[in-house]
Amino acid sequence: MKLAYWMYAGPAHIGTLRVASSFKNVHAIMHAPLGDDYFNVMRSMLERERDFTPVTASIVDRHVLARGSQEKVVENIMRKDQQEKPDLILLTPTCTSSILQEDLQNFVERATSTTNSDILLADVNHYRVNEFQAADRTLEQIIAFYLPPLDPYSSSMDVLPLAAERQHGPPPSQQAESQDSGPSGEQKFSEQPSANILGVFTLGFHHQHDCREIYRILKDLGIKINQIIPEGCLVTNLKNITKAWFNIVPYREIGLMAAEYLHKNYNMPYIDRTPMGLVETASWIRQIRVFVKGNEETYEKYIDQQTRFVSQAAWFSRSIDCQNLTGKKALVFGDATHAAAMTKILVREMGINVCCAGTYCQQDADWFREQVQGFCDQVLITEDHTQVGNMIAQIEPAAIFGTQMERHVGKRLDIPCGVISAPIHIQNFPLSYRPFLGYEGTNQIADLVYNSFTLGMEDHLLEIFGGHDVKTVITKNLSTDQELIWTSSAQNELQKIPGFVRNRIKRNTEKFARSQKIQQITVEVMYAAKEAAT
């Protein structure tokens, strides 16, 4: 047992549901007690989603405990099949239901025979993996279901589910070397170079904007997007994945397993760098050039143009504004992808001193250490927010780049914080275009960093010079009548009212008392005033 007030990563089923509800026309059925479907609330509120979240619960109640789910799960699957006609129904166990050890796979098989939808049981251990690992695994599971591993020993033409697809035309010459290394040689590749983006999800940190930014860069480079998976993707289109020349995995946490699966079984190369920051974006583009055998000169020219003139970040770090940031202390904490990229940007591209870089993705600790090695004084790998808080208090950085939790720690300690990673609030789902990746992303990040630090400096100056305005304001007092007396119980009552409305309540009560010619304000008068107000 562990005493916990806060967690950075959610439970496993949240990850599974994020994958399921990102696909189009996929429905998830949770085997869960009443109230576990708050995922729907998160999606509907945080993402301001207009459509009903395609997740329902098959409720586990006392009855189920006594007799087993029996027909209930199967019935719920069949009902959903008829109501929504999804392509795929994903049965999702939860922490609670997984202890029941019911044979859910058996339910899936029974339901499969009578439904038109495909049915899958999410294969996730709820006590061993978190939200990200579960999402990663579920995405791989769904892709593997529609693109099963090829059997290397039998004639590929017979067993390939996509045999029909593979007979058309030869692959582009660029892929010639892959022909001898396996069955992928028979795939029909797209004429024009194309890529899949793996790992754009609902409830992801700025995923929609990042995806658009990647699309923009690829378009500039003459590369088409074959599929974006899973956001808005139909599972019936998954068989076309292999038409792309390579896969892009923008975030380490989710999508890597699927990319590795496709690499192993379909010989598809993938790029798992994150194009965040100028340096990383440039190496990301160079890597792509290798996959598509692009012209080196054209690519370098593109990188140079974008870096110097489209993105303002390179110029910004040269400008005298950024000089002031030199050597300022910062602490970075977040998921592995964002915390590592942010650390590198702050140090390498802005000259800021990152005292401590950390992540809560313990499963990826080694990768993270390797990434930030040489960029920061200290590495912190923990899931305990109090440890992060203590570290912040101890280091006293000039700015924090972290999650919403670090933002609140910053508030308590009066240190500004830029939010760079989940877990996040509704305010981190902005309506306007705010990518973190690509060249526009570098602009956004520069603004974020700059605003965090200047705010901190402004505060500091204010403190030295004693605030904006040191004269006492004497004319703002609206209650000029001195004859009104507040009884002590009424004053107590007034103190209980939240600060931000207290003055208004006070004014209204006094106005009411005056109109009623009441001299002494009691608690009753306060209530009467509230009742009388229109």
Partner 1 sequence: MSSTEVKFECETGNYHTFCPISCVSWLYQKISDSFFLVIGTKTCGYFLQNALGVMIFAEPRYAMAELEEGDISAQLHDFDELQRLCLQIKQDRNPSVLVWIGTCTTEIIKMDLEGMAPKIEELIEIPILVARANGLDYAFTQGEDTVLAAMAHRCPSGNQTNSLVLFGSLPNTVAQQLTRELETQGIKVAGWLPETRYEELPSLGPGVFVCGVHPFLSRTATTLMRRRKCQLIGAPFPIGPDGTRAWIEKICQIFDVQPQNLNERESKIWESLKPYLTLVKSKSVFFMGDNLLEISLARFLIRCGMIVYEIGIPYMDKRFQASELQLLEKTCQEMNVSIPRIVEKPDNYNQIQRIRALQPDLVITGLAHSNPLEARGITTKWSVEFTFAQIHGFTNARDILELVTRPLRRNNHLKDLGWSKLAAC
Interface with partner 1 by CB under 8 A: which residues?
1-7, 10-11, 13-14, 32-38, 40-42, 44-45, 48-53, 56-62, 65, 76, 83, 94-96, 99-100, 126-128, 130, 405, 408, 425, 493, 496-497, 523-524, 527, 530-532, 534
CB of 53 to partner 1, least distance (A): 7
- Is the dihedral angle over the CA atoms 105, 108, 109, 110 positive or is it negative? positive
What is the rounded CA–CA span in Å between residue 238 and residue 528?
Answer: 66
CA angle 430, 431, 437 (to 5 degrees): 60
Q: How far is the CB of 113 from partner 1 (least distance, A)?
A: 23
Question: What value, to the nearest 5°, has the Cα angle with vertex 220 and ends 218 and 226?
Answer: 30
Annotated ligand binding at 441? The verdict is: no
Provide the angle, in degrees to the nearest 10, between the axes of the packed helices 385-395 and 404-413: 40
User: Whole-angstrom Cα distance, residue 57 to residue 30?
Assistant: 5
Catalytic residue among 123, 151, 321, 414: 321
Phi, psi of 369 (to 5 degrees): -55, -45
- By C-beta, is 181 or 534 nearer to partner 1? 534
130 vs 125: CA distance, rounded Å:
9
Beta carbon nearer to partner 1, 33 or 334: 33
Least Å distance between CB 477 and partner 1? 26
Would you say 405 is a known binding-site residue?
Answer: no
What are residue 359's DSSP bridge partners?
A: 334, 381
Query: Smallest distance, Å, CB 52 to partner 1?
Result: 4
Tell me the residue length of the chain.
534
What is 252-283 written as a DSSP string? SSSSHHHHHHHHHHH---EE-----SHHHHHH
Q: How many CB atoms lie within 10 A of CB 155?
A: 10
36 is in an annotated binding site: yes
Q: Does 364 qualify as catalytic in the annotation?
A: no
Report the nearest approach of partner 1 to the CB of residue 49 (Å).
Answer: 6
> Distance (Å, rounded) from C-alpha 351 to C-alpha 344?
10
CA distances from 337 to 91, 194, 205, 376, 468 (A): 29, 24, 11, 16, 40
Question: Which of 24, 224 has the CB closer to partner 1?
Answer: 24
By beta-carbon proximity to partner 1, the closer residue of 44 and 363 is: 44
Q: Residue 43 or 243: which CB sits closer to partner 1? A: 43
Pick out the residues of the known binding site for [4Fe-4S] cluster.
36
The residues assigned a catalytic role are 321
Pick out the residues of the known binding site for substrate.
456-457
Pick out the residues of the known binding site.
36, 456-457
